């Protein structure tokens, strides 16, 4: 299979017969030969491979050859690279056959085809933009909902913090009022330590305790209870004292009568 079927030569008919395959009668495509042993006949690689499948003979002279004897023909390849060629896309470019690969990268028709393919990808730009706008609107709505939730939670936290502060302030106020009421109650009951003249009262009690040998120090709570009881019933102790005196007098009288009788 020669180049006329796969390559765009500028003038395939004007190519010398030296550059044509004796099997396909076309311009050589990847020319090979047997390296001069047993012959120097040149063929297209595909043409020679097909011939060797039928028999191990040269298609021209029938000399015995094998696959190991086949080698590329560099001189013929160089001549083929010099053949005039044109752009396969029809942009109007012509040049050496070996320059076609470089032109293919810069061919304007190829670049136009690439641009057309890219434009085809964006043929439905309007629909894609509409879909993205809908997605953006959905995300914005979800974001606004999340923001509202955050604001609501923040307001609840602030309200609870204010409520906590109010309750703490109320607790302090109630404790202060309760302490004041306790102070007033104990002061009204006359307990020491809660009247304004407690220090003077303590000094007086201390002097009396030093003068009284029978005084025994009592716990502060017991003393306070006794003191309060004395203030509530001041005449109770006086009555007990009078009864004690009368009992003593009776006992003394009875003892005197008993002595007289004995005598």
Domain residues of the chain, as ranges?
A: 3-120, 140-194
Question: What's this model's pTM, rounded to 2 decimal places?
Answer: 0.42
Least confident of 31-35, 138-142, 168-172: 31-35
Q: How far is CA 210 from the centre of its chain?
A: 81
Most confident of 12-26, 172-186, 222-236: 172-186
Residue 231 has pLDDT above 80, yes or no: no
Q: What is the rounded CA–CA span in Å between residue 190 and residue 55? A: 141
Asked if the model's pLDDT at residue 259 lies above 50, the reply is no
Q: How far is CA 110 from CA 8, 86, 96, 118, in A?
A: 16, 14, 19, 12
Architecture of domain 3-120: 2-Layer Sandwich (3.30)
Residue 96's beta-bridge partner residues?
84
- Give percent above pLDDT 70 in the chain: 70
Strand partners, 64: 57
Angstrom distance (rounded) from CA 107 to CA 92:
10
Instruction: For residue range 93-150, list pLDDT tens digits in order.
Output: 888 888 888 888 888 888 888 888 888 777 777 788 888 999 999 999 999 999 999 9
- Give the model's pLDDT for residue 205: 52
């Amino acid at each position: 299979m020669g180049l006329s079927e796969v390559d765009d030569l500028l003038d395939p008919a004007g190519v010398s017969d030296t550059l044509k395959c004796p099997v396909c009668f076309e311009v050589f495509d990847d020319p090979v030969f047997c390296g001069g042993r047993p012959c120097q006949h040149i063929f297209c690689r595909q043409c020679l491979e097909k011939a060797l499948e039928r028999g191990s003979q040269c298609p021209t002279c029938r000399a015995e050859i094998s696959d190991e004897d086949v080698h590329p023909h560099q001189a013929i390849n160089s001549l083929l690279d010099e053949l005039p060629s044109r752009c396969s896309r029809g942009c109007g470019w012509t040049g050496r056959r070996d320059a076609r690969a470089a032109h293919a990268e810069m061919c304007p028709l190829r670049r136009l085809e690439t641009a057309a393919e890219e434009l085809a990808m964006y043929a439905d730009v309007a629909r894609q933009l509409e879909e993205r706008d809908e997605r953006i609107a959905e995300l914005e709505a979800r974001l606004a909902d999340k923001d509202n939730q955050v604001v609501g939670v923040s307001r609840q936290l602030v309200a609870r913090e204010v409520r906590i502060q109010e309750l703490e302030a109320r607790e302090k106020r109630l404790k202060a009022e309760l302490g004041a009421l306790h102070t007033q109650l104990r002061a009204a009951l006359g307990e020491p330590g809660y009247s304004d003249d407690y220090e003077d009262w303590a000094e007086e009690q201390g002097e009396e305790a030093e003068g009284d040998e029978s005084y025994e120090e009592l716990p502060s709570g017991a003393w306070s209870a006794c003191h309060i009881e004395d203030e509530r019933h001041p005449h109770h102790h006086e009555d007990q004292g009078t009864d004690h005196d009368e009992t003593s007098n009776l006992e003394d009288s009875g003892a005197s009568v008993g002595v007289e009788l004995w005598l």
